Structure formats: structure tokens, C-alpha cells
Amino acid sequence: MSVKGQSRRQGVIRLLLMGLPWSLRPAQAQRMNSGQLLSFEAMVQPLVKGAPLRAQDVRLHAPILAENGSLVPVQVQVNSPMTAQEHVTHVHLLSQRNPVTQMAVFELGPWNGRAEISTRVRLAGTQELVALARLSNGEFRYARMEIIVTESACVDAS
């Protein structure tokens, strides 16, 4: 019995060791500087260009922990009456670590009735997400959120 148990334990250890090179390989395979994290200013200033920016009126919903970075559901809600005078014109989804910082831009208008969008994004590792909304008066509102990603989108082909 004990012999059997030991051999099983050894088998498990051997399996773990076999898996080790696999877990190390993808990181070497990707040739991109996804290791660096952009500062918040570097993420938003190319879009904001000095316009008023406030951390209010925007809500960003996403899982705190994403098991797979290839598919992370994200929802952005902007508190806006969406009238012809006062509405949201753009919603930018920004990533801190992805090789492409701006993941998507949504152009909205008063015809949408509600400034609320959802999509599914790819994340190259644990990072901060920023939802940046441009209002019709030229001001910007944002929300930021830290998402822990256990498996990066840049290693899996799916």
C-alpha cells in the first residue's frame, strides 16, 4: 500500500516537472514588450490632450480575476442623459500592458439613449483597465480597475 502510494506521489511529481518547461516556454516565445506597464498619464494623455478629466460618472464592470486573458467580459456604463445637448461621444477602452493600448473606441450619440456598452477584450497579463468617456462638451470622465489575469492572451491561439 505504502509502496503504491509512494509511486503515485513520484508520478505526480514527475508530471509536475514535465509540465514545468511548458509553463516557461510561452513567455519566451512571445517577442514583444508586454512586460512594461504604462503609467496612467501615458495611457490617457494622447487622447485627453489636456482637457478636463475627472474620475466620476463612469462605471467599469469586469471580473477582478480573469482566468483566461483571451476573453474577458467588460462593461462600461456612463452616467449621462444622452440628449442632443449633453451626451457621450466616445468611449475608449485602454489597457496598461497590451501591445496595443487602445483596445477599442465606441462612437455613441443621443440616438443610443443610454451610454452603456459591453464587449469582450484580450488582456496580456495582470494590469489596470481604463474606460475613458468623452462628453459632448469636450470634457473627459474615466474609471479604472485592476484585473488579475492568470493566463495571458498572448500565449494561447484561441
Burial class (CB in 10 A: 0-12, 13-18, 19+), 44: buried
Task: Return the residues of window 18-37 that contact another protein according to CB under 8 A.
Answer: 29-32
- From the list 15-23, 50-58, 104-112, 139-147, the region that binds another protein by CB under 8 A is 104-112
Integer Cα distance of 36 and 83 in angstroms: 40
Alpha carbon of 136 to those of 56, 81, 88, 122, 139: distances in Å? Answer: 16, 11, 6, 29, 7
Q: Pinpoint the alpha helices (H) of the chain.
A: 2-29, 40-48
Applying CB under 8 A, does 107 fall inside the site for another protein? yes
Closest separation in Å from C-beta 140 to another protein: 18
By CB under 8 A, name the one of 104, 126, 144, 151 that touches another protein.
Answer: 104
At residue 107, the 3 state secondary structure works out as strand
- Name the residue among 138, 137, 121 with its Cα closest to residue 74: 121
Task: Return the residues of window 78-97 that contact another protein according to CB under 8 A.
Answer: 93, 95
CB 153 within 8 A of CB 65: no
By CB under 8 A, name the one of 58, 62, 96, 122 that touches another protein.
Answer: 122
Closest separation in Å from C-beta 116 to another protein: 6
Site track for another protein across 136-155, x = CB under 8 A: -----------------xx-
Closest separation in Å from C-beta 11 to another protein: 29
**Residues interacting with another protein, by CB under 8 A?**
29-32, 70-72, 75, 93, 95, 98-100, 102-109, 111-114, 116-123, 153-154, 157-158
